[in-house]
Chain A
């Protein structure tokens, strides 16, 4: 019990529950089982992308290109399918394209040492442009029935994408907590100089993080394409980077690196999902949804920051 209260994510979990109660008071439909399921299922793609983003932010980095990677991957999968490729193979190739995109980012950031914000700003345009280019500007649609399983299928009555998401979350929590690779990410984010002295290869770790991130975006893209049933290259995932970054920060991640967990990020995604869903159910005018969401994000991050400041009253020059 004591451990539960000590959990790093405690304040944000509490905040999420509070928001949930608030929405329930406003409109009782919010708490229905169907609605809960809807919230979970609606946010599987962003949750998967957020796993990768958590690792990037833990390194003290940033990735603006995930939305474009999602568009490129989803469009490619659509093209493969339209040429009659089997859904499994098309999806697998799609994940491969995600990995290639990650390698592209990773090469410039980790090997050539160009700042991540510059590289991913450029690759955001490159990948989006490629997606629009190969699609010829048209909608990808009419996917074969076999492809629907990835986004809409069920196993034992549970949504397949949700199962994939949960497995990935658990897998990466394990990776970050129990492998040297995972701990290196925290070490680099915490103190780069000390990490170097401890023999940690910073370029290799960074590169791998971007590769993993690309792979995860690839998986998310397959689920996204299958669930929506159509892809428009110019708009797919257009706000994804910022949404996912917000979730990581809400979940206790520090933009300076070193602090944050995948569990926290998952709560962050959930909170964002609840807010969006709740505002719709509460019949808030759709014109006001973005502003309200933004305001709640600031509130959530303020809660985290206050906790951080409280724990860290000393002059933490090195932390920042």
Chain B
């Protein structure tokens, strides 16, 4: 039997307060495509970051071709033969494709440190051609290349280091449908050349089409490694999901709801896709999709962050929403997915953050009414159980959960009718999660209509009255409350046209 090119043995990784990986073994053979699967937070990316030299493991060793190795940084890992292609490409938009491949490398530097441009171009073109990138002009600046071509350049860059192991993180997420097949061709060619490929993806269909083996992680532990013939979609999902969800969620009794608050008709997500749905008064509507499904775009469209076509009706009246200000005026609020970058203003106090969206309403003439701001702020501090000595504390010093409550609070202060929540509990500990879920539940009871967009299946299932499943810009299924479990949800979201899947 052949020897593995790479083996990771007993890998553990601890971050302060969290055990991200526990005693994980992982083996990789030359010329195999090995899928790595698991839910968000299962430890996939931590494992790959260790393999590519971003993190050092707390425990465990890595052997490459039988030799124990230590990767000091990503560049070091590359030089030793392990390259990673991130979901977000790491390219220089202002430089030619060829230079992107060979940037800062001695291979193309001649005498007296002179860069040999003609050799650089011809080597790069040869490399790109060899992986099926014929037709890509390597002299072109990367910003003028399409997404697939950019990915080919990333792959070429990785291979230019004589990579034995290539890690691909969600490689199809950035690609339009018609180019995924082209990417597969490239990957299969690499496999024939003996490169070992780790293929990280959520998409079942792709895994069964391209992978030879699959390893499943859950909660930082390795569950199993199987040959692809030995597993079914069903069994994979079972492995990924594990046991039932604990009782984190408030008990919701769904009464029949009639009054439609938001009606979306043919709302365009990109040039090819548009969706229609409605949201009723007091309803929590879940929207679930894997990366690349377009669920984030739905929020951006409704809040006027990106423009497009389609009709939006609020309480039966057609409205135009082209800017966040217009969305605000129509009583829509949006809690964005990235708290740190989009949600809070760190150096400012809780009070100032809460007042932010409604400064005009809190003013008398041109002057801010400090008394009213103070009153408003302390009322939300209390209502949302924001834990801080007082509301003059800067939000920088709050825990993730309390920061998230501030973000929710500032939009509640705007008294919306429709609240869009995107990843409302990302990076929040379990205790705060339960609190936030309860807040969401209470808000809906008071008549607020909530659109919950999340990549965490348990929370979508636990909170939503209805769940819309989004797949590549289309709503492929609708679940009522209690109809969905994680298996079915993941199945619909990753490959809607499977056995018995009646597509709507």
Contact = CB atoms under 8 A, between A and B. Distances in A.
A312 to B, nearest CB: 6
**How many residues of B sit at the interface, in one of the four size bands?**
10 to 19
A224 interface: no
Contact of A198 (B93, B103, B143): B103
Nearest to B142: A190
Given A187-B103, A311-B144, 9 more contacts: A177-B115, A178-B117, A195-B92, A197-B75, A258-B94, A312-B144, A314-B143, A319-B93, A319-B94
A194 B91 contact: yes
22 contacts: A178-B114, A179-B115, A180-B104, A183-B95, A183-B104, A184-B104, A186-B95, A190-B93, A190-B94, A194-B90, A195-B103, A197-B75, A197-B90, A198-B75, A199-B104, A200-B103, A200-B104, A258-B93, A258-B94, A312-B143, A312-B144, A319-B143
A319 B99 CA distance: 17
B363 to A, nearest CB: 33
A318 B144 contact: no
**Which of A189, A190, A259 gathers most chain B CB within 10 Å?**
A190
Interface of A: 177-180, 183-184, 186-187, 189-191, 193-195, 197-200, 258-259, 311-312, 314, 316, 318-319
A200 B90 CA distance: 14
Interface of B: 74-75, 90-95, 99, 103-104, 109, 113-115, 117, 143-144
A191 B86 CA distance: 15
B93 A316 contact: yes
A228 to B, nearest CB: 38
Given A198-B75, A319-B143, A191 B93 contact: yes
B104 A187 contact: yes
Contact of B91 (A191, A199, A259): A191
A251 to B, nearest CB: 15
B378 to A, nearest CB: 37
Given A198-B75, A199-B104, A180 B90 contact: no
A311 B92 CA distance: 16
B270 to A, nearest CB: 12
A191 B90 contact: yes
A180 B109 contact: yes
Contacts of A189: 94
B37 to A, nearest CB: 26
A186 B115 contact: no
A102 B159 CA distance: 39
Given A183-B103, A183-B104, A184-B104, A190 B95 contact: yes
Contact of A186 (B74, B92, B109): B92
A39 B111 CA distance: 39
B138 to A, nearest CB: 15
A180 B113 CA distance: 7
B75 A258 contact: no
Contacts of B93: 190-191, 258, 316, 318-319
Contacts of B75: 197-199
Contacts of A194: 90-92
